[in-house]
Chains A and B, each alone.
Chain A
Amino acid sequence: MQRQVALIKQSLFDQGYLDEQFMELEELQDDANPNFVEEVSALYFKDSARLINNIDQALERGTFDFNRLDSYMHQFKGSSTSIGASKVKAECTTFREYCRAGNAEGCLRTFQQLKKEHSTLRKKLEHYFQLARQAGPKETARRPK
């Protein structure tokens, strides 16, 4: 089962969903905090759901305050960068470029893609963490003494 967990994790990197920052988080995980990465992911998905809701509401108003949208997305990007959510981060960057260009259609299109990537990543990570918990602690989760 450990092997299955490792393969799933590798595929998340190979498919570009996660980057090396996720590995940095795993390096911080230790015996005293064996679910640290899952905990951080949960915090990220909870807070980013709030940001998505804010952006959805702002876009629904139809007035396109690009400064406000850019500000929300700056926050979203920072958060996504910190957990290694690579594809989500890339969509945040694209969205911000459209904001700077004042391109409302580009913003709308990119935001749909961003929500899709965010949802996909959440499901994949939930599956990964569920399997990881079933498999039990592994050597790489422990820091050397």
Chain B
Amino acid sequence: MATKSTGGIEKTKSTEVKKKLNVLIVDDDPSIRRIHEMIIKTIGGISQTAKNGEEAVILHLGGASFDLILMDKEMPERDGVSTTKKLREMKVTSMIVGVTSLAGQEEERKAFMEAGLNHCLEKPLTKDKILPLIRNLLGA
């Protein structure tokens, strides 16, 4: 079952509504989901999690949308490549970042990128790795 961590909109003193970065974390590993949740929280974003690609697709079919999707590659039910392809077919325009432990496996990384990723990062994910992409996203 997908889980949501916190609410999305906060008001500043000037009454201007400041939208928080809304992130979907898709990974079958519970410890990695928790780590990524915390990384997103510390950089001021909010997150939901999905245990596999199928849950991620179901969330989107239910009308959910995200600024950023962190996508694992190897997952049961539906893997990262299939999920990314499906989301792009569904016209999902979120930034999708693959997060994978495929160092040195260039062919597999290329296939993952070609599925529709915007970027691919190597595990373990850290704040330093994700921040430049988020700055880019918020600046766009």
Find out whether the CB atom of A81 lies under 8 angstroms from the CB atom of B38. no
Given contacts A30-B42, A74-B74, is CB(A40)–CB(B124) below 8 Å? no
- Residues of A near B127 (CB, < 8 A) are 27-28
Find out whether the CB atom of B32 lies under 8 angstroms from the CB atom of A78. yes
Instruction: Tell me the complex Cα distance, A82–B74, Å.
Output: 15
**Interface residues on chain B, number (Cβ under 8 Å):** 16
**Interface residues on chain A, number (Cβ under 8 Å):** 25
Find out whether the CB atom of A43 lies under 8 angstroms from the CB atom of B34. yes
Find out whether the CB atom of B38 lies under 8 angstroms from the CB atom of A36. yes
Report if B39 contacts A (CB, 8 A): yes
Find out whether the CB atom of B124 lies under 8 angstroms from the CB atom of A21. yes
Q: How far is the CB of A29 from chain B (nearest CB, A)?
A: 8
Given contacts A36-B38, A71-B74, A74-B74, is CB(A81)–CB(B123) below 8 Å? yes
Instruction: Tell me the complex Cα distance, A36–B34, Å.
Output: 9
- Residues of A near B31 (CB, < 8 A) are 40-41, 43-44, 47, 79, 82-83
Find out whether the CB atom of A82 lies under 8 angstroms from the CB atom of B42. no
Interface SS majority for chain A = helix
Find out whether the CB atom of B123 lies under 8 angstroms from the CB atom of A33. no
Find out whether the CB atom of A28 lies under 8 angstroms from the CB atom of B42. yes
Report if A133 contacts B (CB, 8 A): no
Instruction: Tell me the complex Cα distance, A30–B127, Å.
Output: 15
Task: Pick the residue among A24, A28, A77, A143 that contacts B101 (CB under 8 A).
Answer: A77
Find out whether the CB atom of B29 lies under 8 angstroms from the CB atom of A79. yes
Task: Pick the residue among A30, A40, A75, A143 that contacts B35 (CB under 8 A).
Answer: A40
Q: Provide 26 A-B residue pairs closer than 8 Å at the C-beta atoms, listed in order of the A residue.
A: A24-B124, A24-B126, A27-B127, A28-B42, A28-B127, A39-B34, A43-B31, A43-B34, A44-B31, A46-B30, A47-B29, A47-B30, A47-B31, A74-B101, A75-B29, A75-B74, A77-B101, A78-B29, A78-B101, A78-B123, A79-B32, A82-B29, A82-B32, A82-B124, A83-B35, A143-B42
